[in-house]
Amino acid sequence: MGKTDFFVQSFVQSKALSKEDMAQFHELCLNDPDTGLSTIATIFEQDEDLKLEPVLRLLRSAAYFKKAANLTQSEDNQPSNWNNDAALDLLEESLIEFKLCQDLREALNVGEALNVERGISDITEIFEVMESAAGVLEIFRPGKVQERWEETKLKYFADRVSINQKCAPHLIPSDEAMNTFGDVFFSFPHIVRSAFVFYMTMDDEQRHYINVALFEESTPKNAFGEANPIIGYVNLYQDGTFNIELADDEVKKAGDAETSADDKVEEEQEARKEEPEEEKKESTEIERRRKEQELREYRLKNRLCLECGKKLGFWDNLSGAQYCKRHRR
């Protein structure tokens, strides 16, 4: 019996491999991705239930990525080496499989046990590779990461993120702060391809966040220097959460925002000062409840976790409660 036949038979009969055999299967997917992919396809054909096995989805993700890397004739993962359609198509497949793996891990409560019990010792490295793959794909195919993962990060946009330099210095996020905000996943009902950071400030709970305008186009401004329409806004918080707001009917422009960010923050602060204390408290509370209700309605409509706003996967939806695994009661 050949090694690939052994992998198929072992998975179909016992639904698993030993750590040593799993390590060999992983090595096969990296050294000979075509054979690895065809072996997993055979496993799926013989037992469709194994399509729900996270580790097989992870192996497929690794194999697709390796196959894409082989097409670029480079192992250094530099973006300039990836600009060909065949490699980018394989990167998309890799991200799709990785997303399935993540959803299944969460649904089946596999968690970090995947690398301990399933024999893949370098799972953290695989996750880091997927982060790099997402960044590469987003450079050449703007919006594709969000299409495939149903969420995205500012850091994937690279130079398609602009920061307002015309507001007060204390409202401009530092590079260190942007590294933190840029690593926050967020979802949005439309595909986002570029962003403009208006300002950084704090909310009533003393949490730092950045207010960001989102664009469907690949740049905030077109070739004539005119501002593209804003499709909505996202606040990204340093604690890893976010909330969004759809654009008004009267579309605002990024160029207007460049000169009005200071005024916007100052007006909000002055309005609070001028209100009588009791009225200010009442107004703040009414506004807080209104925003909470709007946010809840948006999350209900778009199948997001009611607690944190995370996009719910297929298995979350089966639970009946609209919460992600972390916040499910």
pLDDT of residue 209: 95
Residue 172 tokens, joined? 């401009």
Looking at 49-53, 138-142, 199-203, 219-223, which range is the least confident one?
219-223
Q: Looking at the predicted structure, is the pLDDT value of residue 292 above 90?
A: no
Strands 161-163 and 242-246: unpaired
Least confident of 10-14, 113-117, 158-162, 179-183: 113-117
Residue 36, phi then psi, degrees to nearest 5: -60, -45
Average pLDDT on 68-83 reads 71
pLDDT single digits (tens) 30-66: 999 999 999 999 999 999 988 888 888 989 999 999 9
Q: What is the 3-state secondary structure (H, E, C) of the chain?
A: CCHHHHHHHHHHHHCCCCHHHHHHHHHHHHHCHHHHHHHHHHHHHHCHHHHHCHHHHHHHHHHHHHHHHHHHCCCCCCHHHCCCHHHHHHHHHHHHHHHHHHHHHHHHCCCCHHHHHCCCCCHHHHHHHHHHHHHHHHHHCCCHHHHHHCCECHHHHHHHEEECCCCCHHHCCCHHHHHHHCCCCECCCCCCCEEEEEEEEECCCCCEEEEEEEECCCCCECCCCCECEEEEEEEEECCCCEEEEECCCCCCEHHHHHHHHHHHHHHHHHHHHHCCHHHHHHHHHHHHHHHHHHHHHHHHHCCECCCCCCECCHHHHHCCCCCCHHHCC
For the range 116-119, what are the long-range contacts, defined as Cβ-Cβ under 8 Å and sequence gap of 24 or more? 118/16, 118/19, 118/22, 118/55, 119/17, 119/18, 119/19, 119/20, 119/21, 119/22, 119/23, 119/26
Q: What is the pLDDT of residue 303?
A: 66
Residue 286 pLDDT greater than 90, yes or no: no
Rounded CA Rg of the chain: 23
Q: pLDDT tens digits, residue range 175-186?
A: 999 999 999 999
The Cα–Cα gap between 219 and 110 comes to 40
Name the nearest CA neighbour of 55 among 70, 36, 68: 36
More confident residue, 168 or 156: 156
1 pLDDT more than 70: no
pTM above 0.85, yes or no: no
Contacts of 240 (CB under 8 A, 6+ apart): 184, 185
* Mean pLDDT computed over every residue of the chain: 79
